[in-house]
Amino acid sequence: MAFTVVLAAFVGFCLLYGRLPAAAAAVLCCALAAALGLLGRHSHDGAGSIDALAQHSRLCRWNPGLKCALCLGLMVICLLPSSPWMGAATALGCLALTVWGGGVPLHDYLRLMALPAVFLLLGALALLFEYSQAPGVLNLPLAGGYLCVTRAAQDRALLVLFRALGAVSCLYLLSLSTPMHELIGVLRRTRCPGVVITLMYLIYRYIFILLAMYRTMRDAAASRLGYARRRAALRTTGQVFGSLMARSYRQANRCFDAMESRCFDGSVRFLQAARPLTAGQTAAAAALTAAAGALALALR
Amino acid sequence: MEELLKLEQVSFSYEEDRPALENVTLALHRGERLAVLGENGAGKSTFFLCCNGVLTPRQGRVLLHGQPVGRGRADLARLRQAVGLVFQDPDAQIVAGTVESEVSFGPMNLGLDDGQARPLVEEALGQMRLQDFRSRAPQYLSGGEKKRVSIADILAMKPEVILFDEPTSSLDPSSVALLEQTLDELAGKDLSLVVSTHDIDFAWRWARRVVVFTKGRIAADGAPEAVFADRALLQSAGLRRPLLYEAASQLALKNSRLAGRPLPRSIQDWPAYIG
């Protein structure tokens, strides 16, 4: 999280430099970074945390097909206009829906956003800086030219950054309100091939089993000073992952036996919890999509 | 008692020169409470996998209701529906994202549609008191709860024989007590229950028949009183006498008044034994 916060502050400063006075840009970015750092300080575990939050979200009761359609619609609308404001508005809208609509804690949302944010910010950084003979709005003299940030690069980076942020926020709205098994159920209804569905179910289930195995092995190694020194830590990490690999093979064999013992024939089939489509949910999703569409039209 | 399942002269080996099961003949009857004992590697789990048709015996045959079971899909489905296997590690057994969908896995594999599978799932969830857990993800359940889910998995397939592979391992005492209560309830439903265990005291308390495996062979098969009376057998199988059995036997040696009385199965039977 600390790296993301520093990176966000630096990219923010580069994006705002020349648009605001330098001191104001610096203060604004530092304040933003401090707020992000404070709000996103809470810590859980990745995949398990997303799934747990989705299970407890108030939006979990919504029909999963409707949520998929809503998020897909919002994402497409977010990508249409060539304005960073659309991406920013989508990101804020999705945050509001997920946090206040779904009840996902803000610090958890920000912490989970930190991972994709690193990629987005690094991408923005690559778009911002270019080598040129002519100076831009922010310059670093280098080898007779300038490593500089130009106004055009700022505009381009802003657009890409906020578009991507908006699209990622749409995905987060979906994944933080819909448990994985319901998403897989939607894919099944859309005639996704059976082998893909089977693999998704098993991979999803095994994320948690392997994670639990890994934690046990890591703790056992740590309790015997396996990570006490850098060299030992490297060796222990290798051994733990090697053992994890072997154990995952054995576990896979046992799992296959257990499935076979219950007449598994190559395709998994389960009952799905009924999440009926209600008029209220449909109206709310339509209103959100319409509002996003109207904003997109206004920004074109 | 009606014979449900029979293994006749069954042998199986994972490696060419090391048989895991050798000439095993055993019949399971309706309403039976059978404990399978033996050291690790004695062949208990292999025996269960052969009973359920996951492993194909190298020699011998498996009979269900007196009829030999072939290796065709229909025959295997018939066997696996009738003979349910609860695995030792629930994490190896549970595949679905919620408890309800997990319990529906077996019935749906039997070719039932949603409407036919749902009542079976509801009944199994009710039997295992899992109604409030139906939408919970398995990874957030405790070990005891996962075990109940893995039993509900099997109950939903309406089996006649249920094989439990070391069901008490890694369970806390309250979960073991709950499991015993569940086993007692299931025994009342005229099912044939077979439990492999290292918990000798549990076997003494619960079982009405005991089978001892050593090196892939059946070393003993009989009433618990007879099996646990054979010290040489227990020693060769790496077993010990149940605590209550041993205490009651020692007491009977010193007090002739107790000789001939039925030995207490549980601590609740103790006052009647010494009274």
Q: What is the pLDDT of residues B87-102, one digit of tens each?
A: 998 988 988 888 998 9
Number of residues that make up chain B: 275
- State how far residue B13 is from chain A, nearest Cα, in angstroms: 16
pLDDT tens for each residue of B134-179: 888 887 888 889 999 999 999 999 999 999 999 988 788 888 888 8
pLDDT above 90 (res B10): yes
- The pLDDT of A124-139, averaged and rounded, is 85
- Looking at residue A110, its pLDDT comes to 86
3-state secondary structure chain A: CHHHHHHHHHHHHHHHECCECHHHHHHHHHHHHHHHHHHCCCCCCHHHHHHHHHHHCHHHHCCHHHHHHHHHHHHHHHHCCCCHHHHHHHHHHHHHHHHHHCCCCHHHHHHHHHHHHHHHHHHHHHHHEEEECCCCCEEEEECCEEEEECHHHHHHHHHHHHHHHHHHHHHHHHHCCCCHHHHHHHHHHCCCCHHHHHHHHHHHHHHHHHHHHHHHHHHHHHHCCCCCCHHHHHHHHHHHHHHHHHHHHHHHHHHHHHHHCCCCCCCCCCCCCCCCCCHHHHHHHHHHHHHHHHHHHHHC
- In this structure, how many other beta carbons lie within 10 angstroms of the beta carbon of residue B121? 29
Q: Which two tokens stand for residue B138?
A: 């398995």
Q: Which two tokens stand for residue B86?
A: 């609860």
Residues 60-79 of A with CB under 8 A from B: none
List B210's β-bridge partners, or say none: B35, B222
* Nearest residue, CB atoms, A264 vs list B49, B87, B109: B109
- Looking at residue A270, its pLDDT comes to 85
CB of A36 closer than 8 Å to CB of A171: no
pLDDT tens for each residue of A208-225: 888 888 999 999 999 888
- Looking at residue A45, its pLDDT comes to 54
Q: How far is CA A83 from CA A88, A150, B12, in A?
A: 9, 18, 70
Nearest 5°: CA angle at B151, between B146 and B153? 95
pLDDT tens for each residue of A39-48: 666 555 555 5
- Looking at residue B148, its pLDDT comes to 92
| Average predicted confidence (pLDDT) for chain A | 87
List B218's β-bridge partners, or say none: B213
Q: Which two tokens stand for residue B115?
A: 């409407």
Q: Which residues of A touch B136 (CB under 8 A)?
A: 55
Task: Look at A29-33, B66-70, B77-81, B176-180 and tell me which has the smallest mean pLDDT.
Answer: A29-33
List B37's β-bridge partners, or say none: B212
CA-nearest of A267, A130, A80 to A188 is A267
Q: How far is CA A150 from CA A21, A138, A183, A299, B153, in A?
A: 16, 7, 43, 24, 63
* Nearest residue, CB atoms, B54 vs list A204, A209, A257: A257
User: Which range has the top average pLDDT, A9-23, A122-136, B81-95?
Assistant: B81-95
More confident residue, B97 or A236: A236
- Looking at residue A2, its pLDDT comes to 76
pLDDT above 60 (res B38): yes
- Please give the Cα distance from B163 to B144 (Å, whole number): 18
| Average predicted confidence (pLDDT) for chain B | 91
List B62's β-bridge partners, or say none: B7
- Looking at residue A40, its pLDDT comes to 64
- Please give the Cα distance from A288 to A208 (Å, whole number): 34
Half-sphere exposure of B84 (CA within 13 A, CB side): 25
What 8-state DSSP symbol labels residue B166? Answer: S
Q: Which residues of B touch A254 (CB under 8 A)?
A: 87, 89, 92
Q: Which residues of A touch B138 (CB under 8 A)?
A: 205
- Please give the Cα distance from A29 to A15 (Å, whole number): 10
pLDDT above 90 (res B188): no
- State how far residue B100 is from chain A, nearest Cα, in angstroms: 7
Question: What is the band of A96 on the pLDDT scale with cuts at 50, 70, 90?
Answer: very high
- The pLDDT of A277-296, averaged and rounded, is 92
* Nearest residue, CB atoms, A201 vs list B77, B95, B117: B95
Provide the number of CB pairs (under 8 Å) joining chain A to chain B. Answer: 111
pLDDT tens for each residue of A55-82: 888 998 899 999 999 999 999 999 988 8
Query: Chain B residue with minimal CA distance to A251?
Result: B92
CB of A149 closer than 8 Å to CB of A128: yes
Contact: A262, B98; criterion CB under 8 Å: no
Please tell me if residue B42 touches chain A, with a CB cutoff of 8 Å.
Answer: no
- The pLDDT of A15-42, averaged and rounded, is 79
- The pLDDT of A177-189, averaged and rounded, is 86
pLDDT above 70 (res A3): yes
- Looking at residue A42, its pLDDT comes to 52
ipTM (interface pTM) = 0.86
Strands (E), chain B: 3-15, 18-29, 33-37, 59-64, 67-68, 83-86, 161-165, 192-196, 209-214, 217-222
- Looking at residue A35, its pLDDT comes to 79
* Nearest residue, CB atoms, B100 vs list A208, A262, A273: A273
Q: Which residues of B touch A179 (CB under 8 A)?
A: 97-98, 137
CA-nearest of A105, A97, A107, A88 to A12 is A88
- Looking at residue B5, its pLDDT comes to 95
Task: Look at A260-274, B8-22, B93-107, B192-206 and tell me which has the smallest mean pLDDT.
Answer: A260-274
Contact: A261, B54; criterion CB under 8 Å: yes
- The three-class DSSP label of residue B155 is helix
* Nearest residue, CB atoms, B108 vs list A251, A255, A270: A270
Question: What is the band of A246 on the pLDDT scale with cuts at 50, 70, 90?
Answer: very high
Please tell me if residue B112 touches chain A, with a CB cutoff of 8 Å.
Answer: no
Instruction: Report the percent of chain B where pLDDT is more than 70.
Output: 100
- Looking at residue A191, its pLDDT comes to 86
- The pLDDT of A13-38, averaged and rounded, is 83
- Looking at residue B225, its pLDDT comes to 93
pLDDT tens for each residue of A117-127: 889 999 998 99
CA-nearest of B178, B153, B157, B167 to B98 is B153
- Please give the Cα distance from A188 to A201 (Å, whole number): 11
